[in-house]
Amino acid sequence: METLLSQPQDLLERPNVREASLSTVEGGATRCLTCERRCIISPGKVGYCRTRINIEGRLYTLIYGDISSISINPIEKKPLYHFWPGSRALTFGSWGCNFPCPWCQNSELSKRPPNPKTAEYVSPQDLLKMPKSRFQGTSISFNEPTLMLEYALDLFPLAKRMGLYNTYVSNGYMTTSALRKLSDAGLDAVKFDVKGGFESVRKYCEADVGVVWRNVKSSISMGMHVEIVTLIIPRINDDVEAVTEIVREHLRYAGPETPLHFSRFYPSYMMMDRKATPIESLEKAYLIAKREGVEYVYLGNCPGHKYENTYCPRCGELLIERYLFDIVDYRLGAENSCPACGEDIPITGRFGT
């Protein structure tokens, strides 16, 4: 925990500083209940993620409406392959993260602490004023979206009233209370990043991957669309034992019909000395997942690879042909069924709507 500034009460005048949605008071400290780190934060200090501060015994978020990056992206970029295919999402994030991953792909945002004294402010209403013809939903991404809980709770109902969907790109370490609040507010889909097996997540992320799998199962039971992504990193989670552990936990908590993506690692952040993941390692992971019984397995960051595509799990028919984030050909029938054998394909939403 670190001191943000000598007189943190001055921050209360900033629009980015709002009272946190989930916390308890414990003595003179506050316990944050946003994520499963459950930080105990003394007055004038911030938590692990550096986005929550105790000011005079109350917990506040420092990043409400502090938008670090915004763009309109294909939903396939999340990646969400079975959720409103071909649609585009207004994608944005803020600062900070509750995981210390040394391979972070967005370190310029996630590793930078917020500065509410200089931050600009974008209200949920203003964020959604962009022309609606350009996007069909929202996606909180770039940094860990769990930290934007308060903003999401205000934004999602507005978006739903406008006919938009809402998605998260998350490491999945939120508390059950936070997940329930997000579901009630209108969170429709979550792409969960499962960083590895139990030991690698404990070692590199200082976290319990069991929490992530718990939230995967809970999200599905709450009616959300879920897809799982694992970044395959050489010498960390690319061996047969690690991949098999991930696949079996996927089957246990998410089920065989939930899409599983294996993405290619490229050197980044504190792992610039590592080489990119060999395609052969990704193909090995794909085959392990298929052999274990996962019906929809994909490879990411491999433009033009055949395993970017969706195939019918019953007859093998090519159903959706992709190139990176673009849909090249969409062959599913009106009810998202295989045109060759009639198999129902679990896809939320319709292509081109």
Give the residue carrying structure tokens 């507010």: 185
Beta strand pairing call for 165-170 and 18-19:
unpaired
Quick one: tokens of 94? 């803020």
Per-residue pLDDT, averaged over 304-327, amounts to: 98
Q: How far apart, in whole angstroms, are the C-alpha atoms of residue 99 and residue 201?
A: 10
Per-residue pLDDT, averaged over 208-234, amounts to: 99
Q: Which positions ≥6 away from 33 have C-beta within 8 Å?
A: 22, 23, 24, 175, 177, 178
Per-residue pLDDT, averaged over 281-295, amounts to: 99
Q: What pLDDT score does 2 carry? A: 44
Q: What pLDDT score does 1 carry? A: 36
What one-character-per-residue DSSP string does 208-265 give?
Answer: -HHHHHHHHHHHHHTT-EEEEEEEE-TTTT-SHHHHHHHHHHHHHHT-TTS-EEEEE-
- Please return the burial class of 154, using the count of CB atoms within 10 Å of its CB with bins 0-12, 13-18 and 19+: middle
Q: Which of 103-112, 137-146, 238-247, 286-295 bottoms out in mean pLDDT, i.e. has the lowest?
A: 103-112
Q: pLDDT tier at 130 (50, 70, 90 boundaries)?
A: confident
Q: What pLDDT score does 65 carry? A: 98
* Cα–Cα distance list, 319 to 40, 235, 342, 344 (Å): 50, 34, 12, 11
Q: How far apart, in whole angstroms, are the C-alpha atoms of residue 53 and residue 315?
A: 55
Of 178, 131, 123, 124, the C-alpha closest to 156 is 124
Q: What pLDDT score does 279 carry? A: 98
Q: What pLDDT score does 333 carry? A: 86
The distance from CA 192 to its chain's CA centroid, rounded to whole angstroms, is 5
Q: Which residues of 32-69 are buried (b: 16+ CB within 10 A; e: fewer)?
A: bbbbbbebbbebbbbbbbbbbbbbeeebbbbbbbbbbe
Quick one: tokens of 351? 């292509």
Query: Rg for the chain (alpha carbons), in Å?
Result: 20
Residue percentage of the chain with pLDDT more than 70: 98
State the average pLDDT for the chain: 96
Per-residue pLDDT, averaged over 239-255, amounts to: 99
Peptide bond into 313 cis (omega under 30): no
Q: If you count them, how many residues does the chain have?
A: 353
Q: pLDDT tier at 352 (50, 70, 90 boundaries)?
A: confident
Q: pLDDT tier at 6 (50, 70, 90 boundaries)?
A: low
What crossing angle do the helices spanning 240-253 and 279-292 adopt, rounded to 10°? 40
Q: What pLDDT score does 13 carry? A: 87
Give the residue carrying structure tokens 């081109």: 352
Q: Answer whether residue 3 shows pLDDT above 70.
A: no
Residue 222, Cβ neighbours under 10 Å: how many? Answer: 16
DSSP 7: -
Q: Decide if 307 contacts 322 (C-beta within 8 A).
A: no
- Summarised one tens digit per residue, pLDDT across range 54-110 is 999 999 999 999 999 999 999 999 999 999 999 999 999 999 999 999 999 999 999
Q: Answer whether residue 169 shows pLDDT above 80.
A: yes
Q: What pLDDT score does 5 carry? A: 52
Residue percentage of the chain with pLDDT more than 90: 92
Q: pLDDT tier at 303 (50, 70, 90 boundaries)?
A: very high
Per-residue pLDDT, averaged over 321-347, amounts to: 96
Q: What is the pTM of this model?
A: 0.96
Q: Answer whether residue 18 shows pLDDT above 50.
A: yes
Q: What pLDDT score does 143 carry? A: 97
Q: pLDDT tier at 10 (50, 70, 90 boundaries)?
A: confident
